[in-house]
Amino acid sequence: MTPFETYESRLPSAQNAVDAIDGWVGRFPPEYALKAGDAALFDDPRVRFALDRFGPVAGRDVLEIGPLEAAHTRTLAEAGAIVDAIEANKKAYLRCLVAKEIMRFSANFYLGDAVKWLEETPKRYDLIFACGVLYHMPDPLRLLEAIGARTDAVCLWTHFVDVDSLPIGDARRKDWNATLETQRFRGADIRLYRRSYVRANEHATFCGGIFDEHRWMDRNGLLKALAALGMTEIVVDGENHTDSPHGPFLSVFARRP
């Protein structure tokens, strides 16, 4: 005799809760002895960079966009932040709730579109943190505008386009330039590059955006857009990292006076 598909017949455990939702990307800290994904997302230098640049977050309101599986959320919460975290991926949202239940930290998780939250919810935040989000947006400038309306401090980790560094004649240069668009943003011309997931969204571990069509920015365009929002303190974390198979990436912290 076998149990119905939607029931769990094993001895109750945290591992059962993890197994109930497929597609885990990150692994839990070793003290939990759980099997999930492989990526090391706890004590991540990307969120540490945000905390180092912003300063103490104890008692401060922080919005996290794209928590994925709540690893960064836990780091923010353990630093004392009052965290709202918005996730658009339904399975990722459920994984966040499982992680919160297992690790017992305090945060508010919401399922839905973060841009609409920023545009329609009047709440202001001391810091907005978005890791792996900007390059998944169909209109990244709309997201940046919405962020700028709700905070004076933002930290982003994102992939970006670096067409000019590619050798002349490289097919990738032609492919990127074929999708080039230019948008006017607060007096600045910003280059955007249209992309598609090419059915990557069909995989269980997909953690991209809501829509298939999305646009990447180049490094200079991102920095210009942040400056156009009145962010006079702009700090990029180290050098352009170019060793990723998915393209160069950076962390940037920006703040108004």
- The domain total for the chain is 1
Instruction: With respect to residue 6, please indicate whether it lies within any of the assigned structural domains.
Output: no
Instruction: With respect to residue 47, please indicate whether it lies within any of the assigned structural domains.
Output: yes
User: Which residue, 203, 197, 245, 217, is CA-closest to 135?
Assistant: 217
Instruction: With respect to residue 5, please indicate whether it lies within any of the assigned structural domains.
Output: no
pLDDT tops 70 at residue 58: yes
Segment 183-215, tens digit of pLDDT: 999 999 999 999 887 666 767 667 777 777 899
Cβ(220)–Cβ(238) below 8 Å: no
Instruction: With respect to residue 155, please indicate whether it lies within any of the assigned structural domains.
Output: yes
Range of the domain at 142: 20-255
Instruction: With respect to residue 8, please indicate whether it lies within any of the assigned structural domains.
Output: no
Instruction: With respect to residue 7, please indicate whether it lies within any of the assigned structural domains.
Output: no
Provide the pLDDT confidence category of residue 2 given band limits of 50, 70 and 90: confident
Chain mean pLDDT for the chain: 92
Q: pTM of the full predicted structure?
A: 0.93
Give the CA angle between residues 140, 141, 144 to the nearest 5°.
Answer: 90
CATH at residue 27: 3.40.50.150
Segment 75-124, tens digit of pLDDT: 999 999 999 999 999 999 999 999 999 999 999 999 999 999 999 999 99
* Long-range contacts of 87-92, Cβ-Cβ distance < 8 Å, separation of 24 or more: 87/111, 88/112, 88/113, 88/114, 88/209, 88/210, 89/206, 89/207, 91/21, 91/22, 91/23, 91/204, 92/23, 92/67, 92/68, 92/207
